[in-house]
Amino acid sequence: MNSETKSTERDPAYGWLMVFVVFTLSGLSFGALGAISVFLKPLSAEFGWGRAETSLGYTAIAFSSALFGVLWGFVADKYGSRWFGVVAAITMSLCLFMLSAQTNIFQFYAFYFLFGAFGNAMASTPLFANVGFWFRHNPGLALGLTASGGAIGQGVVPYFAGMAITANGWQWAYQAMAISYLVIALPIGFLVRESPRRQKARVSPETEVRHFPLSEKEVVLWMSLAVMFCCNCMAVPIVHLVPMLTDADYTLQFATSVFLVLMLAGGVGRIVGGKLGDMIGALPTYIIMSVGQTVSVFWFPYMDQAWSLYLLAVIFGFTYSGVMSSILVCVRMMVSALFSARAMSVTSFFGWTGMGLGGFFGGLFYDMNGDYKLSFAFASLMGLLNIIVLTAFYTRAKGQRISASPQPA
């Protein structure tokens, strides 16, 4: 067999269970990140922290996810990711419980750093790499469905966290999240299995072939640069949309409902983005979705009607999430199974760095100007730089001669 698309071998049925498991684990993990936006104002009011200071909590979790994600990528490629789900479940629950008892900003940063290092970094990138190689047929669709969990989690968890804060305060909200995460995540964490294809690649790496014209190292370089700017763009609304709306005298319930709609649209966007990657190619899909994200993010501070906010949330959510699944499919299709976890982890390192910087600069520009117009303009500019890099990457790949036979990995 010279091409995955020509293979008649059936994909293992367990692969779809893995889709469900990683969908759920990443939904909880990313949901906690999205919920930082809901906790931002209550914590600022409780402890007197500025927006930039509090936004650094998101930066802490992003930085630790980036740093430790690379480590777990190397571990997963060499030894597998069998116990990643269990460790992530325990860590996420423990950190959320400790956040309910925090008394200063250093604890706030430390607990979110641990959440990223041993929770989010284990529950996302290495497991996405694992899922991608359970499937030879329509891997983009499988990854899109898996990645949609992160988008849905970022909508559902903040929505219920907002309700809990309104009802009983931020401490109780953290405690409720901790218990819920343990009950949901720990049992399914034991279901994680390594894909047969990645197991085979570790035993017989010389038999693996790949079909992309650029080297794996060059692919990672291009993707890392693009993702850095891309994630700067998407981080601003993820961290600051809810506080921006409550600043405009909307209720917390309305603000979290807009965020919920954004992320539910994102769930659809990730599935469509993954499937579109199977149909027209992952890189063209990435470019198309990036254009939508870049154009739409600029307008959030200028919308003053409920219907326009919901509409813009749908457009941004769909395209930003299409970007996320496109990134995963790009790496899945451009590198070998044996290198996939490392490639995704290194790419994610720059992505998480971009997310952390974007969240921080969004808060910094607010503190400087007293509103979010410059913050969202900055996000749009970062999106434009992402598009420029992707266009150059596409031109470079298209210009290379594609060999008639697959090349060794």
Full pLDDT tens readout for the chain, 409 residues: 334 444 556 778 899 999 999 999 999 999 998 888 889 889 989 999 887 888 888 888 888 988 898 899 888 888 888 899 999 999 999 999 999 999 999 999 999 999 999 999 999 888 988 888 888 888 888 888 898 888 888 888 988 999 999 999 999 999 999 999 999 999 999 999 988 888 877 766 555 566 788 888 999 999 999 999 999 999 999 889 989 999 998 998 899 899 889 988 988 888 898 889 888 988 999 999 999 999 999 999 999 899 999 999 999 999 998 898 898 888 888 888 778 888 888 898 898 889 888 988 998 999 898 899 999 999 999 999 999 999 999 999 888 754 434 444 4
Looking at residue 197, its pLDDT comes to 80
Do the beta carbons of residue 120 and residue 61 sit within 8 Å? yes
Looking at residue 401, its pLDDT comes to 56
Looking at residue 7, its pLDDT comes to 52
Looking at residue 207, its pLDDT comes to 57
Note the Cα 110 to chain centre separation in Å. 21
Q: For residue 348, which of 86, 85, 144, 63 has the smallest C-alpha distance?
A: 63
Helix (H, G, I), strand (E, B) or coil at 405: coil
Do the beta carbons of residue 197 and residue 130 sit within 8 Å? no
Residues 6+ apart with CB under 8 A from 281: none
Separation between Cα atoms, residue 221 and residue 384, nearest integer Å: 18
Give alpha helix (H) positions in 124-195.
125-132, 139-168, 170-189
Separation between Cα atoms, residue 243 and residue 364, nearest integer Å: 14
Separation between Cα atoms, residue 29 and residue 273, nearest integer Å: 21
At 208, the amino acid letter reads E
Using only the alpha carbons of the chain, give its radius of gyration.
Answer: 20
Domains, in order of start, for the chain = 13-201+210-398 (1.20.1250.20)
403 burial level (CB within 10 Å; 0-12, 13-18, 19+) = exposed
Do the beta carbons of residue 23 and residue 127 sit within 8 Å? no
Q: For residue 34, which of 250, 326, 218, 234 has the smallest C-alpha distance?
A: 234
CA distances from 160 to 46, 164, 217, 259 (A): 20, 6, 42, 12
**What are residue 407's phi and psi, to 5 degrees?**
-100, 145
Sign (positive or negative) of CA dihedral 359, 348, 15, 82: negative
Helix (H, G, I), strand (E, B) or coil at 209: strand
Residues 6+ apart with CB under 8 A from 203: none
Separation between Cα atoms, residue 316 and residue 234, nearest integer Å: 9
Please state the pTM of the whole predicted model: 0.77
Q: For residue 23, which of 117, 138, 156 has the smallest C-alpha distance?
A: 156
Residues 6+ apart with CB under 8 A from 329: 132, 139, 140, 143, 144, 273, 274, 277, 278, 282, 285
Helix (H, G, I), strand (E, B) or coil at 162: helix
